[in-house]
């Protein structure tokens, strides 16, 4: 009887899980793949940067051109991320809280910059503001430089990071509905109060998530920025562009030293992202354990 | 109390209109979208109209450009295919098994999203060049993965990996175990259960992830140019053709090729949207 039961149990398990050797083979294949494609490239950045010792590494980072690249990268992100944050919140509010014609189409358009090649993204601004572009002659007459200058770099960065925050917030706010906001308004809160005290705490983690991904891309963007920058050393070189120039000049250690700062940024981004996901799950679980506030219809 | 009831009634009739800020937020959204995305993209299309049809065709179908399409599409397709296989495997292992280091693997999957493409490019090149860690191991066997088409595919595998994992993973997490138990109790082997129960359930997500990885790979520039060697007709990708034309001040030619790429982006965007709504319907049914 008991052997019979054990056999049935084994058969049932054989149907819903894999044999141990299959399981461990699959895990092994994944670990090898992850090691080759993700761990090795990351490790290579740091070992190449330290190839000639810590002294050469630090020296490379103290170059004035490296510093100006770091400053420009920080400046670009400091402009692009807040603008896309305001846009992301506004777009998510309009799309998630209301019904209107063309909503699905608008949502698709918000995603559009993700599917456009970065090189094409850079090119469109050259066609608008370049010497031969739409506004080129007017800009030249008024002595305003956009292409091969900082404004072009900022614009191209805004374009490629455009959807990041909006696309995190739209599904989140759609899932949360607007009952809590309506309750706040009914109780006499103003629109701003409702947003600050009801909506914002609810979307906090989604917002942070979007911001750190947006920031990582803004600081790391290469293709779009490369088209509009003009590669003027000390003036229009962002960190990724500086990496390219050093690499092409066979200054491998210096190139990887600057690259290692960007790799650190990526690692910090991943750590914050994991933390946010953990917090978000905790919030969801806490919400699931709350007693229902009212009988469900 | 009375006020609440009085306000509550219309709120129930038209709950979506009570919240303030619709005009302001929608207005700003449309303004920002137009200034940053729509007007610049339309500049691209208008610039194309300054070319005659013959000039346009000549610009987008010269042998060197056609060779770049073949490489870009071929390498992107191959990379997306590899991503589909390994992405599914990674998602499966992360959802179904527990093993030491699982959290780290899960976090690392997003590395290609977070690591700047130029850094990925020089790093992969350093690894695969004949004096690199991997390249030096392969060179005695006559295998060269850097400065040729192989390098292009490898860079594209790197940048496309998270797309498949992150679309398949949630679907696998939500998949109902009961269905698998039912299949098993009806006598299906594990492989049959996977083939006829699990695979159809995650099929749409897998296809969506494949399409996203493919679309991203087509437009990719930064990670590829370092490792490709960039030989015309052999290992030159289409975005690099655009850059090359721009550097020679051939704005019209660059625009023409860019329009072809933009058209493809639109098509992929619609395909991915259609796949996602198919996936949602599947999940809802």
- By C-alpha distance, the chain B residue nearest A190 is B20
Question: pLDDT confidence of B2, banded at 50, 70, 90?
Answer: very low
Dmax (CA) for chain B in angstroms is 86
Q: What is the pLDDT of residue B281?
A: 84
- Range B169-177, long-range pairs (CB < 8 A, 24+ positions): B169/B91, B169/B94, B169/B95, B170/B205, B171/B201, B171/B202, B171/B205, B171/B279, B171/B283, B172/B91, B172/B92, B172/B95, B172/B96, B172/B202, B173/B95, B174/B283, B175/B201, B175/B202, B177/A16
Q: Each residue of B175-184: pLDDT tens digit?
A: 888 888 888 8
Q: Each residue of B220-243: pLDDT tens digit?
A: 999 999 999 888 898 999 999 999
CA distance B188 to B184: 5
| Contact with chain B for residue A259, Cβ under 8 A | yes
Higher pLDDT pick, B77 / A1: B77
Cβ separation A45–B272 shorter than 8 A: no
Dihedral sign for Cα atoms in the order A114, A117, A119, A121: negative
* CA-based nearest distance A291→chain B, Å: 24
Residues of A in contact with B18 (CB under 8 A): 178, 182, 185
Q: Each residue of A211-233: pLDDT tens digit?
A: 999 999 999 999 999 999 988 88
Position A6 pLDDT exceeds 70: no
Position A206 pLDDT exceeds 50: yes
Residues of B in contact with A40 (CB under 8 A): 127, 133-134
Contacts of A18 (CB under 8 A, 6+ apart): A26, B190
Residues of A in contact with B37 (CB under 8 A): 109, 112-113, 159, 162
Could you say which residues from 183 to 242 on chain A have a Cβ atom under 8 Å away from some Cβ of chain B?
Answer: 185-187, 191, 194-195, 213, 216-217, 219-223, 226-227, 239-241
Position A191 pLDDT exceeds 90: no
Cβ separation A16–B86 shorter than 8 A: no
Dmax (CA) for chain A in angstroms is 95
Dihedral sign for Cα atoms in the order B214, B218, B219, B225: positive
If you average pLDDT over residues B127-142, what whole number do you get?
91
Name the residue among A91, A123, A128 with its Cβ closest to that of B254: A123
Number of Cβ pairs < 8 A linking chain A and chain B: 300
Q: What is the pLDDT of residue A284?
A: 80
Could you say which residues from 10 to 69 on chain A have a Cβ atom under 8 Å away from some Cβ of chain B?
Answer: 11-12, 14-19, 23, 26-27, 29-31, 33-34, 36-42, 44-45, 48
- Pair B208, B274: CB distance under 8 Å: no
Q: How far is CA B61 from CA B67, B218, B230, B247, in A?
A: 9, 17, 19, 19
If you average pLDDT over residues B207-224, what whole number do you get?
95
Position B6 pLDDT exceeds 70: no
Cβ separation B221–A222 shorter than 8 A: yes
Instruction: Return the percentage of chain B with pLDDT > 70, whole number.
Output: 93
Residues of A in contact with B193 (CB under 8 A): 15-16
Instruction: Return the percentage of chain B with pLDDT > 90, whole number.
Output: 65
Q: Each residue of B44-56: pLDDT tens digit?
A: 999 898 889 999 9
- By C-alpha distance, the chain A residue nearest B24 is A90
Phi, psi of A50 (to 5 degrees): -100, 15
Question: pLDDT confidence of A131, banded at 50, 70, 90?
Answer: confident
DSSP B194: I
Q: What is the pLDDT of residue B12?
A: 43
Position B190 pLDDT exceeds 90: no
Q: What is the ipTM of this complex?
A: 0.88
Cβ separation A127–B32 shorter than 8 A: no
Both structure tokens of A229 = 């920058």
If you average pLDDT over residues B153-159, what whole number do you get?
96
Give the mean pLDDT of chain A: 90
Q: Each residue of A74-122: pLDDT tens digit?
A: 999 999 999 999 999 999 999 999 999 999 899 999 999 988 999 999 9
Residues of A in contact with B262 (CB under 8 A): 116, 120
If you average pLDDT over residues A261-284, what whole number do you get?
92
Distance of CA A282 to the CA centre of its chain: 22
Q: Each residue of B236-283: pLDDT tens digit?
A: 999 999 999 998 989 999 999 999 999 999 999 999 989 988 888 877
Position A281 pLDDT exceeds 90: no
Q: Each residue of A241-255: pLDDT tens digit?
A: 999 999 999 999 999
DSSP B119: H
Question: pLDDT confidence of A1, banded at 50, 70, 90?
Answer: very low
Position B82 pLDDT exceeds 90: yes
CA distance B58 to B83: 35
Give the mean pLDDT of chain B: 89
Q: What is the pLDDT of residue A14?
A: 58
Position B121 pLDDT exceeds 80: yes
Higher pLDDT pick, B125 / B3: B125
Cβ separation A159–B21 shorter than 8 A: no
Q: What is the pLDDT of residue A12?
A: 57
Q: What is the pLDDT of residue B10?
A: 43
Q: What is the pLDDT of residue B245?
A: 93
Could you say which residues from 124 to 153 on chain A have a Cβ atom under 8 Å away from some Cβ of chain B?
Answer: 124-128, 130, 132-134
DSSP B196: I
Q: What would the DSSP string read from start to end of A187-240? A: TT--HHHHIIIIIHHHHHHHHHHHHHHHHHHHHH--HHHHHHH---TTTS--HH
CA distance B100 to A64: 44
Q: Each residue of B25-45: pLDDT tens digit?
A: 999 999 999 999 999 999 999
Substitution target from B37, B68, B280 for chain A, most A beta carbons within 10 A: B37
Q: What is the pLDDT of residue B72?
A: 96
Residues of B in contact with A37 (CB under 8 A): 157-158, 161
Residues of B in contact with A255 (CB under 8 A): 122
- By C-alpha distance, the chain A residue nearest B93 is A27
* CA-based nearest distance A15→chain B, Å: 4
The mean-pLDDT minimum among A14-23, A69-78, B10-19 falls in: B10-19
Question: pLDDT confidence of B187, banded at 50, 70, 90?
Answer: confident
Question: pLDDT confidence of A13, banded at 50, 70, 90?
Answer: low
């Amino acid at each position: 009887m008991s052997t019979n039961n054990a056999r049935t149990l084994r058969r049932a398990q054989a149907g819903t899980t894999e044999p141990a050797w299959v399981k461990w083979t699959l895990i092994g294949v994944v670990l090898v793949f992850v090691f080759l494609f993700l761990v090795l490239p990351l490790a290579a950045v740091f070992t190449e940067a330290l190839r000639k010792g810590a002294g050469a590494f630090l020296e490379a980072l103290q170059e004035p051109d490296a510093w100006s690249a770091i400053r420009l990268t920080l400046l670009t992100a400091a402009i692009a991320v807040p603008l896309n944050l305001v846009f992301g919140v506004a777009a998510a509010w309009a799309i998630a809280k209301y019904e209107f014609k063309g909503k699905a189409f608008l949502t698709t358009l918000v995603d559009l910059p993700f599917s456009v090649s970065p090189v094409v993204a850079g090119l469109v601004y050259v066609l608008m503001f370049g010497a031969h572009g739409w506004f080129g002659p007017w800009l030249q007459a008024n002595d305003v430089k956009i292409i091969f200058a900082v404004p072009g770099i900022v614009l191209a960065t805004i374009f490629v990071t455009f959807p990041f925050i909006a696309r995190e917030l739209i599904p989140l706010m759609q899932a949360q509905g607007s009952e809590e906001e309506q309750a706040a308004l009914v109780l006499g809160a103003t629109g701003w109060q409702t947003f600050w005290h009801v909506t914002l705490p609810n979307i906090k983690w989604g917002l942070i998530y979007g911001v750190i991904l947006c920031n990582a891309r803004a600081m790391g963007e290469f293709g779009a920025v490369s088209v509009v920058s003009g590669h003027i050393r000390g003036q229009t070189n962002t960190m990724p562009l500086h990496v390219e120039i050093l690499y092409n000049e066979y200054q491998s250690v210096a190139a990887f030293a600057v690259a290692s700062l960007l790799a650190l940024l990526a690692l910090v981004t991943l750590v914050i992202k994991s933390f946010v996901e953990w917090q978000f799950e905790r919030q969801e679980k806490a919400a699931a354990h709350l007693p229902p506030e009212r009988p469900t219809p | 109390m009375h006020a609440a009831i009085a306000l509550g009634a219309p709120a129930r009739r038209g709950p979506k209109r009570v919240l303030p800020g619709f005009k302001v937020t929608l207005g700003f959204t449309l303004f920002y979208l137009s200034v940053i995305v729509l007007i610049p993209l339309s500049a691209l299309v208008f610039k194309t109209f300054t070319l005659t049809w013959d000039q346009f065709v000549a610009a987008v179908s010269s042998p060197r450009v056609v060779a770049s399409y073949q490489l870009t599409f071929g390498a992107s397709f191959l990379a997306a295919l590899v991503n589909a296989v390994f992405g599914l495997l990674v998602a499966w292992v992360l959802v179904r098994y527990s093993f030491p280091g699982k959290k780290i693997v899960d976090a690392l999957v997003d590395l290609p999203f977070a690591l700047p493409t130029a850094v990925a490019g020089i790093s992969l090149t350093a690894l695969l060049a004949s004096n690199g860690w991997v390249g030096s191991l392969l060179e005695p066997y006559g295998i060269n993965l850097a400065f040729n088409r192989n390098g292009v595919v490898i860079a594209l595998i790197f940048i496309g990996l998270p797309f498949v994992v992150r679309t398949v993973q949630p679907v696998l997490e939500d998949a109902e175990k009961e269905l698998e138990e039912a299949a098993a109790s009806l006598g299906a082997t594990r492989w049959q259960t996977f083939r006829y129960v699990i695979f159809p359930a995650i099929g749409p997500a897998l296809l969506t992830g494949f399409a996203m990885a493919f679309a991203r790979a087509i437009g990719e520039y930064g990670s590829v140019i370092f490792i490709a060697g960039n030989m015309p007709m052999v290992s030159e990708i289409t975005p690099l053709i655009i850059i090359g034309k721009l550097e020679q001040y051939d704005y019209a030619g660059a625009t023409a090729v860019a329009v072809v790429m933009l058209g493809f982006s639109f098509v992929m965007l619609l395909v991915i949207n259609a796949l996602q709504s198919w996936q949602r319907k599947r999940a809802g049914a």
